Amino acid sequence: MNAEQKKIVSSLCKTDIAVMFFSLAWVLFFAGKIFIDPANLLHLYKLKDQHIELKRLNEQISTENKKFDHEIHLLESDERYITKTAREEYGFIRADEIIVEIPKEADTN
């Protein structure tokens, strides 16, 4: 390798080092801006709290869905449950039954 070639290689190496240095500087600058900036940290904490609340709500809704799935299964397959639900929630009666309403006594105190 002659002197001119060594000079070109040396120049390229310095250019590559400079490009890598400035690239690293930009990455560090933006990482610092994102993770160290107090406004961003506050936003991250709020998002974390929101995430926890959404997970809790999701678990609550999943539990409710399981109850509804169980009730759907009973309504599709259990004749006694259907009869009980119709009587309690909708006031259904059998053909041979009579509803008698007893008035509540008023308090005399």
pLDDT digits (tens, 9 = 90+) for 6-54: 666 666 677 777 778 888 888 888 777 766 666 777 788 899 999 999 9
CA atoms in the 13 A half-sphere facing the CB of 12: 6
Instruction: Please report the pLDDT score of residue 21 as a whole number.
Output: 82
Contact indicator for 92, 86 with CB cutoff of 8 Å: yes
67-83 tens-digit pLDDT: 999 999 999 999 999 99
Q: 98 versus 8: which is more confidently predicted?
A: 98
pTM: 0.49
107: confidence class by pLDDT, cuts 50, 70, 90: low
